[in-house]
Amino acid sequence: MERIKKPEWLRVKAGVAKENAFVQSILNKFGLNTVCSEAACPNRAECYGRKTVTFMILGKTCTRGCTFCNVSKGIPEPVDENEPEHVAQAVKALDIRHAVITSVTRDDLPDGGAEHFAQVIEAIREETPDVTIEVLIPDFKGDLEALSKVAKAHPDIINHNVETVPSLYPEVRPQADYLRSLAVLKAVKDFDETIYTKSGIMVGLGEQPDEVSAVFTDLRNVRCDFLTIGQYLSPSKQHHPVVEYIHPDVFSSYQKEAYEKGFLYVASGPLVRSSYMAEQAMQSI
């Protein structure tokens, strides 16, 4: 497929060099990864400029091969037992008020890394009790016992992205399952209805508007509270191509529709990512 030209509305904001350097120094000090860097997020400079990061735990090598994602695939690193403490110390050093933690998918681990997520949550709570915590989790292969470990640690938000519409899963998320992802979000509410749930979808991969609308309905049917909608940007020629650059007016229309379906907070725009300005969801309720 011929690559299409990126439109004007996808220009990214520059960050503050001094703040970017400070954030990187803290990450280096504690030996931490961020999805901002590993997934080549277009908002990294802006977020680092606000001293905001999304920590990526459990290494930086994923066991799955999603065609949209820039994170390295292959044999993952051993789990760093000191990582929970280091994340907590970095949250404190950066004076983060809303901590966002994600991970690579670790299908090689018996619980998919769920206990490690719980340990990170608990370490942050101990170091900075007033910080709100959001975790962006994999599906743990649908293992509800593993998922319960994360829920019992009681983060403020559990996010699990459906990423795209069901018809595109075979080519975009071949090792994932749309209904399984919905089941994960439903199970969080079944475990603890006081935890807010969140999901995200990328557009521009070849989906149709009615398919996007159906995803909104499916997410609300499992009581998903927060939603992000962003433009897919292909990391390289080896990844799934951008089929269409969605106009900002369409993002506004999607946002309006999602609110009408009952979401408590919706971030929708070309440069929106699942963790971008994540603190705004908690501030809005």
Mean pLDDT per 10-residue section of the chain, whose length is 285 residues: 72 61 88 69 62 86 69 83 97 93 92 97 97 96 97 97 94 89 98 97 95 98 97 78 93 98 96 83 85
Contact criterion met (CB below 8 Å) for 224 and 199 = yes
Q: What pLDDT does residue 39 have?
A: 47
Alpha-carbon 174 to chain mean position: 18
Q: What pLDDT does residue 37 have?
A: 58
| Per-domain boundaries in the chain | 11-283
Q: What pLDDT does residue 43 have?
A: 60
- The whole model's pTM is what? 0.91
Q: What pLDDT does residue 114 have?
A: 98
Helices 114-127 and 144-152, packing angle to 10 deg: 0
- Distance separating alpha carbons of residues 174 and 264, to the nearest angstrom: 30
Please list, in sequence order, all residues whose beta carbon lies within 8 angstroms of the beta carbon of residue 8, skipping any fewer than 6 positions away.
Answer: none
- Both tokens of residue 32? 């931490």
- Both tokens of residue 84? 């929970």
Q: What pLDDT does residue 20 have?
A: 75
Q: What pLDDT does residue 23 have?
A: 85
Alpha-carbon 93 to chain mean position: 23
Q: What pLDDT does residue 278 have?
A: 80
Contact criterion met (CB below 8 Å) for 251 and 232 = no
- Distance separating alpha carbons of residues 23 and 115, to the nearest angstrom: 27
Which CATH class for the 11-283 domain?
alpha beta
What is residue 163's DSSP assignment? Answer: B
